[in-house]
Structure 1
């Protein structure tokens, strides 16, 4: 299987590459600088160039968009996805979302609740808006959004995770287990045109405790 990872040098992107390479998939690593990542061929890509982005998506079996939301302005990130949706690529894409746009048991998005940390509210709203755009305007696209638990950090690959749709699956996911879920979805899609979230089943082990 041929997989593209956009945001190859980030915490999630680099681990998604390692997971895919470990399963013997052919992986292309895209970043601004185009650095090679172990086991994958590196290419330079400006993700805001919609034409180039569509070419990447259409030339791979699955493309993971793991660019960090905090590294881009709200308007830039919104435009990236709205223009991508309008361009209607034919390939399959998996967007890494944010936990703040998940919902509590009452169906309210966490970023709208009073206790949500103010320093993360803007980024969380950004991902909420991107999700709404896909849900409302991308009915013909082969898209999925995967959001992490509220805490995602480098840790241990246990290979075991809980899944949920719009409410948190748990409190922590190692970046390694998150990568497992990304590649699982890339290889065997179960969440076409929807958002889901994962958390490590054994959080202590995943944290390396």
Structure 2
């Protein structure tokens, strides 16, 4: 798993490990990651590095990508690297990419990231995640991928309930019109999708 030391990634690692999966956590600085379960293998890895993907992919059933930080090109570069490597593998793992909620469709009919009041400080990351989604959709022939978008606004650390609902390109909203999900239940949705795939070569979203 790439991005295993981050807010989303670390929770996905814990969720998968506690369900009995063998987890390899790929991070840029393994010495700084001391908060994952003791049974998790922590290695140096970079989702934009062909060598890293080539080293980790052969032993994996799924490659989870939950990276953050960096510049706008990070997410597309990671998607391009992973697709390029896996396309040439005879028995490639599937990819589960934790993407951006701003790529979901707003009530106006456009993407949240294109709304006039979308926060400027999040725009580069949103555009980067949008580019990654576009790449999967247009260039991932021969690769099985899933792109998971969290809610566009109300997505925070919280409680693991184990319950959520899913949608595709529009946010899942509750009776008050809010789209909400905890990082912990995002992790549940990721591991559920790995164990019981429903969104092959597609994007989905989750919320309460």
Q: Does the TM-score normalized on the shorter chain lie above 0.5?
A: yes
Q: Secondary structure at the match of 1:152?
A: strand
Contact map agreement 1:142 1:193 (CA 8 A) in 2:
yes
Cα shift at 1:105: 4.1
Contact map agreement 1:16 1:182 (CA 8 A) in 2:
yes
Runs of 4+ in 1 over 3 A off after TM superposition: none
Contact map agreement 2:47 2:82 (CA 8 A) in 1:
no
Q: Secondary structure at the match of 2:43?
A: strand
In the other structure, the counterpart of 2:197 is: 189
Distance of 1:96 and 1:138 partners within structure 2: 16
Answering whether residue 166 of structure 2 is matched by residue 160 of structure 1, we say no
CA deviation profile, 1:154-180 (whole Å, cap 9, x unmatched): 110000001110111132111110000
Deviates more, 1:128-137 or 1:72-81: 72-81
Q: Secondary structure at the match of 1:181?
A: helix
Cα shift at 1:63: 1.5
Distance of 1:9 and 1:84 partners within structure 2: 19
Contact map agreement 1:57 1:93 (CA 8 A) in 2:
no
- One of 68, 75, 78 as aligned partner of 1:77: 75
Q: Secondary structure at the match of 2:23?
A: strand
Deviates more, 1:120-129 or 1:103-112: 103-112
Q: Mark the runs of 5 or more structure 2 residues left unpaired by the alignment.
A: 174-178
Q: Taking structure 1 as the reference length, what is the TM-score of the superposition?
A: 0.87
Q: Secondary structure at the match of 1:26?
A: coil
Contact map agreement 2:149 2:205 (CA 8 A) in 1:
yes
Count of aligned positions: 194
Contact map agreement 1:6 1:65 (CA 8 A) in 2:
yes
Cα shift at 1:57: 2.4
The structure in which a higher percent of residues are strand is: 1
Answering whether residue 14 of structure 2 is matched by residue 18 of structure 1, we say yes
